[in-house]
A = this chain, B = another copy of it.
Amino acid sequence: MNPKPDELHLNAWRLFITAHATLIDTIDRELIAADCIPLHWYDVLVELVEAPAHRLRLYELADKVVLSRSGLTRLVDKLENAGLLKREPNPEDRRGYYAVLTEAGYAALRKAWPIYAAGIQNSFAVHLSDDEAEVFSRVLRKILKSRQTEE
């Protein structure tokens, strides 16, 4: 296996980094400007919405949002303080907790979604045809899958 990327792939990598930084920056600002929760909070809460019974173990959440355990602890502190989720002890395993979405958390998601959706659409999605979006997704899914199996 060749240890070095060619120009084409290297260029793709560098664009990936730069585009990510500017997109996150832009969309996060749009959310803040509209008096909504920041992007990282959204990402956490949306994982809860999609989870069975709107709850996830903290370590699962940390994994899904790619955050360290300690980072997650503090983020959950803030979200709990803001009333958007609550910790619930787990009777099955008394070491751990569930993070459970609250009604206010769900409301925060609903409020933010139109802004977030518009940001994704205008800054990102409009630039991808359906075919391009499929290539894009397929590639990133492959990358993520390979990481899972390695570690």
Contact = CB atoms under 8 A, between A and B. Distances in A.
A94 interface: no
B3 A66 contact: no
Count of chain copies: 2
Nearest to A24: B17
Contacts of A123: 143, 146-147
Interface string A1-38: 11111101111110111111111111000000000000
A118 interface: yes
A132 interface: yes
Contacts of A139: 127-128, 132, 136
B18 A66 contact: yes
A9 B128 contact: yes
Contacts of A133: 8-9, 11-12
A143 B9 contact: no
Given A11-B137, A12-B137, 18 more contacts: A1-B121, A1-B126, A3-B122, A6-B125, A8-B134, A13-B124, A13-B125, A15-B140, A16-B23, A16-B140, A21-B66, A23-B143, A25-B66, A26-B147, A128-B139, A132-B139, A136-B136, A136-B139
